[in-house]
A and B are shown apart, each in its own frame.
Chain A
Amino acid sequence: MIKSKVILKAILPVVILGILALAFFAGQRPSSYYPVPLLKSSCPPGFKLNENNECIAKNLYSQYPTTNKAGVGGLKSALPEIRDGFSPQEIDLGRYLFFDPVLSADQTVSCASCHDPNKGLSDGLAVSRGIDNNKLKRAAPSLYNVGYLKKLFWDGRASTLEEQMLEPLFSEIEMGNTPENLLRTINDIENYKKLFAEAYPNRLKDEPILLKEITNAIAAFQSSLVSLNSKYDQYAHGYDGALNKNEIEGLNIFRSFVARCAECHTPPLFTNQQFAVIGTPEPDGLPIDPGAEIPFNDKSLRGAFKVPSLRNIAQTAPYMHSGRFKTLRETVQFYTDGRGHAAPDGENLLIHWHIWEPNLTDYELDRLVDFLKTLTDESFKPKVPEVLPSGLHISS
């Protein structure tokens, strides 16, 4: 008896505690709750927080005077204007959304599926794959330094990141979602409600999450993806030792008016953000991609594409809008094989005047590749979240 009393005494507090705990936790909805850290209150690298809780871009190129708004020039030239001023919370929320496949119709494809930080923020494919493994038309561009770009997509059909991302989100063959389904999904996730409330503190408490908040947050994150600390940059800022002899030879070929690479891939961003018809071949059996002709409704732009930045180019093979060239060496070879040599038969393309016959030697082409590899810098590579607010797994 005495023994059982002792046991009872011992059990009682446990039982009481258990009941209390039950009562306490019963108040909470047993929804799919995963512990997600709060949003970061500091800016990603390359940005400084100001007194208005805005992240402002800071890098060594800011020390050079702006002599033109286009942000083009030589080694010590200012960059074009970047989209900055987002809050650290918007950027961090955007990071979660970017990696979260919950944004797609079947919850398998995220932005990062095609813009993978481990593949130079591209996907290593000739043309990307969408939902249900749909084959898309063009290659995924790297997102490094995308905040500096004034036109988006290979054919320049979007002018803001917010406008751009609506296409992959709601394209039947990319992420396959609809605005209604996306909003319904996101608004059903407690974690996102909490995080959006944190990132957008001025919104009303029970107001549903809006599409423009989703796109704003993703744009904030994308604009924070900068790469400006390559070996080339060290050389540009004045350190001779950053590039070896072969690489400097490559730089000189790159900027020479024989090869003319720098005329369109102009430093410091390695794009002048214009459109050019260069007449690259399509993969076998595919018809010509009309490129910018379609969005600009302009025949002179048939086969024209936006000049892509070459930063981190060594990380983002294969090359050109449909991934026709597997290596950098093949790609630079294209430019010396003659004006329009690979243009499809029957097409009268207005090939850009800088495409000519520079007669570069094999040695020079090798040096160009050496130089292109110095444009690699992933020191500010974004961190993949360990846990996603949706509870889904990272699928890239």
Chain B
Amino acid sequence: MKKKSPFLKILGSIVLLGIGVFIGKSFFGQDNVETVPIPSTIKYRNIGLKNDTTQVASNREFTGKIIEVRKGSSIQDAVKEANPGDLIRVYPGTYSENVYIDKDDISLQGVVIKGEWPTLDGKKEINDAFLYSGNGILIENFKIINYKGNGIMGQAGNNFIIRNNWIIDTGVYGIFPQYGKNGLVEHNVLSKIADAAIYIGMCDNVDVRHNEVFDNVAGIEIENSRHCLVENNYAHNNTGGLLAFVTPGLPIKTTFDVILRNNFVVNNNHENFGAPGSTVSGIPSGTGILIMAADDVIVENNIITGNNNTGITIVDLATGAPKANDPNSEGNPDRVVILDNIMFNNGNDPTGEIKAIMLTQMDTKGPDIFAYGGGTGSTIRDKNKFRTFGLDGYGVAQITDTEDIATMMTPSPVPPRSVSKEELGELTYYGVCAGCHAFGTRLIGPPTEILQAIHHDNPQGIVDYITAPKNLREDYPEMPPQNYLSEEAKMAVAEYILALKH
């Protein structure tokens, strides 16, 4: 084999490079955009919220009793003792327990004394620190460490307030309200969480404000939730800082109406330590803000710097989570609005696909804003200010700010119950009693008209009987006590039975 001359080699590579640049520019290049001389819109510094008070979560006057928990005793015992409206105050000390709250309107308040916090320590043995399902739950001033699952997890509780908590390494999530409507998550400090530090999952009307999240895989995640405000948070050194996205395969299918405003999203370059298979395990390190398949997301007045992959990534599900498939999840991010933001020093060390795509642009850096895949109607206020990729289709934003949106929380608490006494009686009669009692026919117990005859005009008689039945009739089996029904439901059903006509 004859050796090629070095000159030819160099020439050849220059030609190849030239072709590469030409192809790159023609397929991925973008047109220059005129600078729009718009004055800055920063006309306010912060937005105060008057309804954010120290009262219990539902903003009612405090009328309950105060239960104190001191070192050596159990928070769960206090929850057992508490009635709706009560306040549980927990003094400094270490509490290694799983506290579950299946009651409404319970407030749990840590008392910090001279820097000593009431601390829930899961010792990497206990699953969760707080689990709640009740409405109107307040959890504040706790230090929570070393749990395996969650720091604070809510399932379907509405009107929640979670604030001033200091949460370190509590497993998968730090603060995770799920299926809740109307909530506030603020002034929490969270670190070393293997998935999202703050995860708003399948919720509506939640404000996430003034939190510091760092050294986590995901800082703050708004997932399959609507009407959320993420404001004034400091997200640094996570794998990804702020996330708004749709995860396919969940029963609630959409994320829309999310404002990411006035946050610091800085140096989110932590290596990804998410569990294999989890959605966040696919987030590239160096992601400032990620918007995936979420609609109507507004990104406003954030400081987004030092994120080594991209400042803002906007992708569809096909790009961001290509394995997942759910015909009922619409996968395009539509109508994203990017307003004024401070962005520099992003993309210093891009990885994976973004690195490959940027190389086609003859650029070794990742962009401030990267958009890829489907989606329509997205806009940006001043595209020319940033280093961008894939924003060709973005028009000029039709709004300048969101100043008139002070909160996404509902104007008043979600009402706890929507049934009258008569309805409760009806639901109890048909939902429980009807298995054994019916009008005009013998099922397992006596027919309803016989109950009416026995307890004529005396609902309390029925209440007493169903609470502690005495077998009065040889020809019928003994009735099991219905003492699990609330006093309210017992009286309601007693009155309902006596009023029944047929």
In contact, A257 and B156 (Cβ under 8 angstroms): no
Contact A68 B128 (CB under 8 A): no
The bracket for how many chain A residues form the interface is: 35 or more
CA–CA, A267 and B172, complex, Å:
21
Q: Which residues from chain B contact A74 at a C-beta distance below 8 Å?
A: 133, 154-157, 179
Residues of B within 8 A of A238 (CB): 102-103, 486
Taking the closest CB of chain B, its distance from the CB of A359, in whole angstroms, is: 8
Number of B residues contacting the other chain (C-beta, 8 Å)? 68
In contact, A257 and B127 (Cβ under 8 angstroms): yes
- Give Cα distance in the complex from A236 to B133, angstroms: 9
Q: Are B251 and A266 interface neighbours, CB within 8 A?
A: yes
Residues in A whose Cβ lies below 8 Å from that of B486: 237-239
Q: Are B427 and A252 in contact (CB under 8 A)?
A: no
Contacts of A32 in B (CB 8 A): none
Of residues B127, B156, B418, which shows the largest number of chain A Cβ atoms within 10 Å of its Cβ?
A: B156
Chain A residues with CB under 8 A of B171 = 257-258
- Chain B 420-431: CB-based contact to A (< 8 A → 1; otherwise 0): 000110111111
Q: Is B466 an interface position by the 8 A CB rule?
A: no
Q: Which of B103, B128, B179, B414 contacts A65 (CB under 8 A)?
A: B414
Contacts of B438 in A (CB 8 A): 42, 45
Question: Does B98 sit within 8 A of A, measured CB to CB?
Answer: yes
Q: How far is the CB of A45 from chain B (nearest CB, A)?
A: 4
Which of A62, A67, A301 touches B179 (beta carbons < 8 Å)? A67
Q: Which residues of A contact B103 (CB under 8 A)?
A: 238
Partner of A350, one of B131, B150, B323, B439: B323
Is the pair B150, A257 in contact by a Cβ cutoff of 8 Å? yes
Q: Which residues between 125 and 146 of chain B lie within 8 Å of chain A, taking CB atoms?
A: 127-128, 131, 133-135
A60 x B179 contact (CB < 8 A): no
Q: Say yes or no for A160: interface residue by CB 8 A criterion.
A: no
Chain B residues with Cβ under 8 A from A65's Cβ?
Answer: 414-415, 417-418
Chain A, Cβ-Cβ closest to B170:
A257
Closest to B424 in A: A63
When A77-B156, A257-B149, A353-B278 are in contact, do A59 and B435 touch as well, CB less than 8 Å?
no
Q: Knowing A67-B156, A274-B250, A300-B324 are in contact, say whether A256-B149 is a contact too (CB < 8 A).
A: yes
In the complex, whether B484 has a CB less than 8 A from a CB of chain A is: yes
Tell me, in angstroms, the Cα distance from A107 to B256 when the chains sit together. Answer: 55
Question: In the complex, how many angstroms separate the beta carbon of A323 from the nearest chain B beta carbon?
Answer: 25
A137 interface hit (Cβ, 8 Å) = no
Contacts A65-B414, A258-B149, A272-B250; is A239 near B484 (CB within 8 Å)?
yes
The stretch that binds B, out of A11-19, A119-127, A196-204, A227-235, is A227-235
Do A42 and B441 have beta carbons less than 8 Å apart? Answer: yes
Q: Are B418 and A252 in contact (CB under 8 A)?
A: no
Question: Is there an interface contact between A339 and B426, defined as CB atoms closer than 8 Å?
Answer: no
Within 8 A of A (CB), among B314-334: 323-325, 327
Q: Contact: A274 with B133, CB < 8 Å?
A: no
Complex contact A46–B157 (CB within 8 A): no
Q: Bound complex: CA of A120 vs CA of B429, how far in Å?
A: 24
User: Is the CB of A148 closer than 8 A to any CB of chain B?
Assistant: no
The answer to whether the Cβ of B153 comes within 8 Å of any Cβ in the partner chain is yes
Contact indicator A352/B249 (Cβ below 8 Å): yes
Is B72 part of the binding interface, using a Cβ–Cβ cutoff of 8 Å? no
A339 in complex: contacting residue of B156, B173, B204, B277, CB < 8 Å: B277
B443 CB to closest chain A CB (Å) equals: 8
- Are A274 and B249 neighbours in the complex by a CB distance under 8 Å? yes
CA distance A75 to B100 in the complex (A): 12
**A356 at the A/B interface (Cβ < 8 Å)?**
yes
Q: Are B427's CB and A355's CB within 8 A?
A: no
User: In the complex, are the beta carbons of B155 and A73 less than 8 A apart?
Assistant: yes
Contact between chains at B155 and A300 (CB < 8 Å) = no
Instruction: For the complex formed, measure the closest distance between the CB of A14 and the CB atoms of chain B, giving whole angstroms.
Output: 40
Contact with B along A67-106 (1 / 0, CB 8 A): 1101011111100000000000000000000000000000
- Which chain B residues border A235 with CB–CB below 8 Å? 102
B96 to chain A, nearest CB (A): 15
- Determine how close the nearest CB of chain A comes to the CB of B325; give it in whole angstroms: 4
Q: What residues of B have a CB within 8 angstroms of the CB of A266 in the complex?
A: 251
Check B204 against A60 for contact (C-beta < 8 Å): no
A270 interface hit (Cβ, 8 Å): no
Instruction: Out of B127, B414, B430, name the residue touching A252 (CB < 8 Å).
Output: B127
Which residue of the partner chain, among B278, B431, B441, contacts A229 with CB atoms under 8 Å?
Answer: B431
The answer to whether the Cβ of A262 comes within 8 Å of any Cβ in the partner chain is yes
**0/1 per residue, A202-235, Cβ < 8 Å to B?**
0000000000000000000000000011000011
B275 at the interface (CB under 8 A from A): yes
What does the 1/0 interface line of A276-302 toward B look like (CB < 8 Å)?
Answer: 100000000000000000001010110
Contact of A63 with B434 at beta-carbon distance under 8 Å, contacts A74-B133, A256-B128, A274-B249 already known? no
CB distance from B159 to the nearest CB of A (A): 11
Instruction: Report chain B residues within 8 Å CB of A229.
Output: 431-432, 435
Q: Which residue of A lies closest to B157 (CB)?
A: A74
Report whether A258 and B148 are in contact in the complex, using a CB–CB cutoff of 8 Å. Answer: yes
Separation of A251 and B155 alpha carbons in the complex (Å): 13
The residue in chain A whose Cβ has the minimal distance to the Cβ of B278 is A353
Interchain CB contact under 8 A, A64 and B430: no
Does A72 contact B430, Cβ atoms closer than 8 Å? Answer: no
B residues lining the A interface (CB < 8 Å): 80, 98, 100, 102-103, 127-128, 131, 133-135, 148-150, 153-158, 171-173, 176, 179, 181, 202, 204, 249-252, 275-279, 323-325, 327, 414-415, 417-419, 423-424, 426-432, 434-436, 438-441, 443, 483-486, 489
Taking A48-B426, A239-B486 as known contacts, 17 extra A-B pairs with beta carbons closer than 8 A to each other, sorted by chain A number, are: A46-B431, A48-B430, A58-B429, A63-B424, A67-B156, A70-B251, A74-B179, A229-B432, A240-B102, A252-B100, A252-B127, A255-B153, A266-B251, A267-B155, A274-B250, A274-B251, A356-B275
20 A/B residue pairs, CB under 8 Å, sorted by A: A42-B438, A42-B439, A45-B430, A45-B438, A45-B443, A47-B434, A60-B489, A67-B179, A68-B202, A74-B133, A229-B435, A240-B80, A241-B483, A248-B100, A253-B127, A256-B149, A258-B148, A266-B251, A353-B279, A379-B436
Chain A residues with CB under 8 Å of chain B are 42, 45-48, 58-65, 67-68, 70, 72-77, 228-229, 234-242, 248, 251-253, 255-259, 262, 266-267, 272-276, 296, 298, 300-301, 339, 350-353, 355-356, 379-380
The 8 closest A-B pairs by CB, nearest first: A74-B156, A73-B156, A59-B431, A74-B155, A239-B484, A58-B430, A74-B133, A234-B484
